[in-house]
Amino acid sequence: MRCACGLADTPWQLAAGSGLRHCPCMTRLSFLCLCLIGLCPAFLAGTSAANVLMFPALSGKQDAAVLTVYSSLDEALAKPMIAGFQAANPDVAVAYEDMLTGEIYDRIVHETDAGKKTADFAFSSAMDLQVKLANDGYAQASDLPMSGRWPQWANWRNTVYALTFEPAVFVYHKPSFKNEAPPASRAEFIEFLQKHGDSVHGRIGTYDIERSGVGFLFMSRDQEQFGDIWSVVRAMGAAGVKLYSTSGAILERVADGRFLLGYNIVGSYAADWASRDPNVGIVLPKDYTVVMSRIGLVPQAAANADLGKRYLEFFMSKEGQTIMARELQIPAVSPEVAGNNTATTMREMLGGQLKPVPVSLGLMVYLDQVKRARLISKWNEELRHQ
């Protein structure tokens, strides 16, 4: 597996700190992302109406069984998975409801509590809310052919399954780093900010953890992985860090040079920008790289639970995970799938550097409003500390 330019094995190896960070192949990274909001209860209110898309049964059967899916994956990315599923299940129609992650949680809870039927399958990037659904009895076990072979960190009680593998990265403005390498660890990040002082002031961006669910998730994992994380936050505060609720706002400013660096950005989104803009560079921090996942489950009150399990089984199958990696360009989890865009290859390249967020009850810790408020308070205090 060589990079197209021959300089390194894969673009991810370049991002991981091989020193060849200006390889032209870095601009061809193409992990596509979906909007990552709603990872905490604050996003449950004000959601928009779901967009329902109908995919008739390929067989043309008029009274075909209907699989109902609630998902935060947008239509363009959903279509290849649905097409693959229907090719194997031509008598099944699909009703696909594209919605925000908080709305998925809210709909399932409210419909179930009202004694109504709900989705047959739910797919969401809100890891904590998906686990909460299962823990509170709103999801059912799905004992599938791949369940026993699925990575232990990615499977909670055969009920909640992580189906993608997506790192949090540093992003940087390539033209600004012609004479020095960008920071490749949190210690180097601090050193860079302190060394350059006024020249970097106001030119660093990261998520506002009060408004960004994924930003809050990453900071909570930072606190667990890095004992000196608050020194990073203080350094960003001293450098006049700008805070945003979306990845796009940060990446836009890195791309045009207003920002030099972005901290803890969802790698799938960053790589999509890098594929379109040669000024955007990516580094997988070498001290540790947090990895988040999108999660699938079958609700307890599913109208057609058997169809929901069949769709989940397809997501976990070699065919489904291959579509995920090759067509959707979202890194696959399955150990049966080979290629650059997979957890297996990334682990071979980076080993213990990768720190996947385990699918476990630990995800629910910061849904506790007292603990959440405490972390946000500490964050704001350290940002203001000079």
Residue 140 confidence (pLDDT): 98
Answer yes or no: do 103 and 130 share one domain: yes
Residue 278 confidence (pLDDT): 95
Residue 326 within any structural domain of the chain: yes
Answer yes or no: do 187 and 285 share one domain: yes
Residue 371 within any structural domain of the chain: no
**C-alpha–C-alpha distance, residues 242 and 249, integer Å:** 10
Q: How many folded domains does the chain comprise?
A: 2
Contacts of 327 (CB under 8 A, 6+ apart): 80
Residue 20 within any structural domain of the chain: yes
Residue 50 confidence (pLDDT): 57
Answer yes or no: do 47 and 158 share one domain: yes
Answer yes or no: do 201 and 308 share one domain: no
Identity of residue 40: C
Answer yes or no: do 176 and 279 share one domain: yes
Q: Kind and range of the H or E element at 378?
A: helix 369-384
- pTM over 0.85, yes/no: no
Residue 22 confidence (pLDDT): 35
Answer yes or no: do 243 and 300 share one domain: no
Residue 329 confidence (pLDDT): 75
Answer yes or no: do 132 and 197 share one domain: no
Domain that holds residue 355: 41-164+293-359
Answer yes or no: do 303 and 269 share one domain: no
Residue 386 confidence (pLDDT): 56
Q: How far apart are the first and last CA of the chain?
A: 47
Picking from 270, 267, 273, the residue whose alpha carbon sits closest to that of residue 289 is 267
Residue 379 within any structural domain of the chain: no
Answer yes or no: do 174 and 281 share one domain: yes
Neighbour count for residue 346 (Cβ, 10 Å):
23
Residue 6 within any structural domain of the chain: no
Answer yes or no: do 224 and 271 share one domain: yes
Contact 284, 175 (CB under 8 A): no
Residue 380 within any structural domain of the chain: no
Residue 24 confidence (pLDDT): 32
**C-alpha–C-alpha distance, residues 334 and 347, integer Å:** 12
Number of H helices, E strands in the chain: 13, 15
The stretches in the chain having pLDDT less than 70 are 1-50, 386
Q: How many residues does the chain have?
A: 386
**C-alpha–C-alpha distance, residues 271 and 330, integer Å:** 10
Residue 5 within any structural domain of the chain: no
CATH of the domain at 251: 3.40.190.10
Picking from 15, 2, 5, the residue whose alpha carbon sits closest to that of residue 281 is 15
Answer yes or no: do 54 and 157 share one domain: yes
Answer yes or no: do 48 and 159 share one domain: yes
